[in-house]
């Protein structure tokens, strides 16, 4: 079975960029990306552009354009974000069966784990993002939930054949116990779904010239605000409490936060763990995945996953983080 990017050659990348009116200097540099394909393309007498080619059949055109509109909305409100370029009145283009978008090149470095000053500023940035995200819902993008990130992920893993037979009963048992606990906490925790980044790990919050900016809203969706916050924390519980305080001090300058949502941190972490394994299984026909994740399917990986899910189940039974 051919993979989605089989025909996406460097020549096709150059042809796509030139098809909408740019003149390339024939330089193409592949950037680190698995879900989509992203390239830096040299442009004659101008700064290079970043060309993002969307994975076929993942998002509808309406969902991609909704991501773009959200990004433009943020940029219009002066939230630092890397927004798509509009060329000839369009932000989404198509060439040889591939949909692609161009972005300005914007470098930077990820925040330092546990840096309290940076966490305060990241809180301000996320508060601004969520203040805009809360004004209206997405219409064409799914919400993060226990079914699609949890139960559907488990079904994918169990049907994939990647879990060694010796570990399959243990993995399925702890995963089902974990999902039951996640469902219980979700049902007991008041929360509001808003438009959010959706994949807000530190690598998507880049700093350049002492200013943080948001990148890669490809996974933006509806979900609880705390989903964009918990991945900013690092270290043990005591360290996380201090970091959370700084993050929230900045966040609350721009947007309200319901502290009851903190009870969702460990459920959301559990869903991300399960979704990651399912994502690898779903993408295994793409040759980039076996090359980059050769350990997937090994006894060691799935043994570690069983342990990680057990630890996560224990974490769900602990007292959630609190604001003081």
Q: How does pLDDT run across 86-138, given as a tens digit for each residue?
A: 999 999 999 999 999 999 998 889 999 999 999 999 999 999 999 999 999 99
Tokens 């570990």, located at residue: 167
Segment 46-57 mean pLDDT:
96
pLDDT-based confidence at residue 324 (cuts at 50, 70, 90): confident
For the chain, what is the total number of helices (H) and then of strands (E)? 10, 9
Is residue 199 part of the annotated active site? The answer reads yes
Confirm whether residue 115 is marked as ligand binding. Answer: no
Stated pTM of the model: 0.94
Strand 24-30 relative to strand 93-95, pairing = unpaired
pLDDT reading at 189 higher than 70 = yes
Check the CA dihedral 117-119-123-126 and report its sign: positive
Confirm whether residue 304 is marked as ligand binding. Answer: no
List Cβ neighbours of 25 (8 Å cut-off, separation of 6 or more).
42, 43, 44
Reduce the DSSP state of residue 211 to 3 states and report it: strand
Segment 192-204 mean pLDDT:
95
Helix (H) or strand (E) holding 175: helix 168-188
The DSSP annotation for 16-82 comes to: HHHHTT--EEEEEEE-S-SSSEEEEEEETTEEEEEEEEPPTTTS-HHHHHHHHHHHHHHHHTT--B-
Predicted local distance difference test score (pLDDT) of residue 2: 66
Mean of per-residue pLDDT scores for the chain: 95
Task: Report the C-alpha dihedral over residues 63, 69, 74, 76, rounded to 10 degrees.
Answer: 180
Percent of the chain with pLDDT over 90: 94
Q: How does pLDDT run across 259-312, given as a tens digit for each residue?
A: 999 999 999 999 999 999 999 999 999 999 999 999 999 999 999 999 999 999
| 76, 184, 199, 249: the active-site residue | 199
Segment 236-261 mean pLDDT:
96
Go through 134-151 and write b for each residue having 16 or more CB atoms within 10 A of its CB, e for each that does not: beeebeebebbbbeebbb
Cα separations (Å) of 238 from 111, 225, 248, 271?
20, 22, 16, 23
* Structure token digits, residue 315: 């974490």
| 216, 218, 228, 286: the active-site residue | 216
pLDDT reading at 52 higher than 70 = yes
């Amino acid at each position: 079975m051919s993979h989605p990017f089989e025909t996406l050659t460097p020549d096709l990348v150059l042809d796509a960029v030139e098809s909408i009116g740019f003149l390339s200097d024939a330089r193409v540099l592949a950037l680190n990306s698995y879900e989509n394909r992203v390239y830096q393309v040299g442009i004659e007498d101008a700064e290079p552009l970043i060309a993002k080619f969307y994975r076929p059949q993942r998002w509808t055109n309406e969902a991609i354009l909704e991501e773009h509109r959200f990004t433009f909305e943020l940029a219009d409100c002066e939230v630092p974000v890397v927004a798509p370029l509009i060329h000839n009145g369009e932000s989404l283009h198509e060439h040889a069966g591939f949909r692609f978008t161009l972005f300005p090149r914007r470098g930077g470095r990820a925040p330092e784990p546990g840096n309290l000053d940076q966490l305060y500023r990241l809180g301000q940035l996320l508060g601004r993002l969520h203040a805009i995200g809360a004004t209206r819902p997405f219409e064409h993008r799914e919400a993060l939930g226990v079914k699609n990130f949890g139960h559907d992920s488990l079904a994918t893993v169990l049907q994939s054949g990647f879990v060694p037979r010796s570990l399959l009963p243990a993995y399925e048992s702890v995963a089902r116990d974990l999902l039951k606990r996640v469902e219980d906490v979700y049902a007991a925790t008041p929360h509001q779904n808003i438009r959010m980044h959706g994949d807000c790990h530190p690598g998507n919050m880049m700093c350049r010239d002492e200013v943080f900016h948001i990148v890669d809203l490809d996974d933006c969706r509806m979900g609880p605000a705390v989903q964009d916050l918990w991945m900013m924390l690092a270290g043990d519980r005591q360290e996380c409490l201090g970091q959370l305080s700084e993050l929230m001090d900045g966040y609350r300058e721009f947007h309200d936060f319901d502290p009851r949502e903190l009870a969702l941190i460990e459920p959301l972490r559990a869903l991300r763990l399960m979704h990651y394994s399912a994502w690898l299984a779903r993408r295994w026909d793409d040759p980039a995945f076996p090359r980059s994740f050769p350990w997937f399917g090994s006894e060691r990986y799935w043994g570690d996953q069983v342990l990680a899910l057990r630890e996560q189940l224990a974490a769900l039974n602990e007292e959630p983080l609190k604001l003081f």
